[in-house]
Amino acid sequence: MSLTDWIPEPLHSPGPWDLAYWQWIAIALLLVIAVVFARIARWLFSWGLKKVVHRTVTTFDDDLVDRLGGPLRLLGTVGLFRLGMPLLELPAERAQTITNILLAVLAFGIVWGLLRAIDVIIGHASKAAWVATRPTSRSLLSLVGRIMKVVVVVIAIISALGTMGLPVGSLLAGLGIGGIALAFGAQKTVENLFGAVALGVDQPLREGDFVKVEDSVLGTVEAIGLRSTRVRTLDRTVVTLPNGRISEMRIETFAARDRIRFATTIGLVYGTTAAQMRQVLEGIERLLREHPKQFDSTEITVRFLAFGQSSLDVEVISMFATSEISEFRAIRQELLLGIMDVVEKAGSSFAFPTRTVHLASLPAKAA
């Protein structure tokens, strides 16, 4: 006994699309049943899967299971509807059409799931520790995510067109030619894009770094975009440099240093005695060694350097444990004032450029 034997006679009348009215009612009921059972099956599947993923340390699999809920429900609905289709006793031609529609919905569900999986992957990659120290990588990850989504959608569209019987080979050839033309037209844009990738991977500079680019730009990096990098100069102007160009330039990053060198040369007057010079050298060296920010006492250099044109030159070099330029400026000021005290206590003084002119009198001419 078939299902049609239980159907009232009026519902056997043909309706739209050459299907009986009972078949249309059965399609609607089957769709509702498939949606309900798909929700239940998805809940049971997720519940069992979460029991497993909760045991892992990472939250990636938990987020992936949550984000794939919608696509899984859709795929379950399609599968259950396809299993119940034989009960509808559809004509072969109509059954094939509905099967093609189900395959299209199935493909949409798969693409939907892949797009959500890409979001989860990029989202977790953006929270990684190595990205926190590389702000540029966030922009690159976002770009990579968009490219992956475009690739998935393009592959899905080409597959759908091929299923519909369209000449996919000719379409791919046209896309290839168009891609070459686009590459020539957007050469600078592509160059800057690859420059951004190079800056993100090599990390010669980061947002917030105080840098010197070649000998022309000195300032703080405000933003590193996909096309250009903006640097705020000391005059508060903004210099925009294309990434393709900046990746090939010489970049000096001051933020990468772990200590700062204090180096100066002081000149004492030529009236300074040897005893006073030794007292000055000992006093300056003691000043440097006793400073709380002194990095390494073995790197202190305080030496009588040379007999200058108008001064006795003393070389002073030392390293201090700071990477902040504002803090170093305060340290430098403190040291220079301390050196002045040392020189004054030694009874010497600082020299300044002088020139001695000897006037020789000419012998008187004979009368």
> Is residue 245 domain-shared with residue 178, that is, in the same domain?
yes
Q: What is the pLDDT of residues 138-166, one digit of tens each?
A: 666 776 777 788 888 888 877 777 766 66
Regarding predicted confidence, which is higher, 160 or 305? 305
Q: What is the mean pLDDT of residues 178-186?
A: 63
283 and 319 fall within a common domain: yes
pLDDT at position 1, please? Answer: 47
Same domain (yes/no): 29, 87: yes
Whether residue 105 is found in the same domain as residue 49: yes
Q: Based on the fold, state whether residues 65 and 26 are members of the same structural domain.
A: yes
For residues 96 and 175, membership in a common domain is answered with: no
Domain identity same for 228 and 240 = yes
Q: Is 234 domain-assigned?
A: yes
Q: Is residue 209 part of a domain?
A: yes
> What local confidence, expressed as pLDDT, does residue 52 receive?
66
Domain-located, residue 281: yes
CATH number at residue 241: 2.30.30.60
pLDDT of residue 209: 83
> What CATH number is attached to the domain comprising 297?
3.30.70.100
Query: Is 366 part of a structural domain of the chain?
Result: no
Q: Whole-angstrom Cα distance, residue 175 to residue 149?
A: 18
Q: What is the pLDDT of residue 97?
A: 78
Do residues 103 and 202 both lie within one domain?
no
Domain boundary among 127, 155, 171: 127
Torsion of CA 132, 136, 141, 146, to 10 degrees: 150
* Domain assignment of residue 137, yes or no: no
Is there a domain that residue 116 lies in? Answer: yes
Same domain, yes or no: 284 and 249: no
Domain boundary among 230, 256, 282: 256
Residue 13 domain-assigned? yes
CA distances from 231 to 137, 149, 223 (A): 18, 32, 7
Kindly state the average pLDDT of the residues 274-295.
93
| 210-213 and 251-253 beta bridge pairing | antiparallel
Q: Which of 154, 231, 147 has the alpha carbon at shortest distance from 190? A: 147
pLDDT tens digits for range 39-59: 887 777 777 666 666 666 667
The rounded distance, in Å, linking the Cα atoms of 12 and 15 is 9
Residue 18, Ramachandran bin (φ over 0: left; ψ between -120 and 50: alpha; else beta):
left
pLDDT of residue 344: 94
Between 84-93, 229-238, 276-285, the lowest mean confidence (pLDDT) is in: 84-93
Find, among 301, 333, 334, 335, the residue nearest to 318 by Cα. Answer: 301
User: Which candidate, 142, 238, 225, 236, places its Cα nearest to that of 189?
Assistant: 225
| Structural domain ending residue among the three candidates 192, 224, 256 | 256
Q: How many domains does the chain have?
A: 3
List, for residues 13-23, the tens digit of each pLDDT value: 666 766 766 66
Contact 308, 342 (CB under 8 A): no
Structure tokens at 333: 């000021």
Q: What pLDDT was estimated at residue 366? A: 56
- On the question of pLDDT at 367 being above 60, the answer is no
How large is the average pLDDT for residues 349-367? 72
Residue 63 lies in a domain: yes
93 pLDDT tier (thresholds 50, 70, 90): confident
Q: What is the mean pLDDT of residues 298-304?
A: 90
Q: What rounded mean pLDDT belongs to the chain?
A: 79
The answer on 178 and 110 residing in a single domain is no
Cα–Cα distance for residue pair 364/367, rounded to 1 Å: 9
Q: Are residue 8 and residue 114 in the same domain, yes or no?
A: yes
Lowest mean pLDDT among 83-97, 172-186, 248-262, 312-326: 172-186
Provide the residue range defining the domain that includes 219.
Answer: 163-256
* Statement to judge: residues 230 and 266 lie in one domain: no
C-alpha 117/C-alpha 115 separation (Å) is: 5
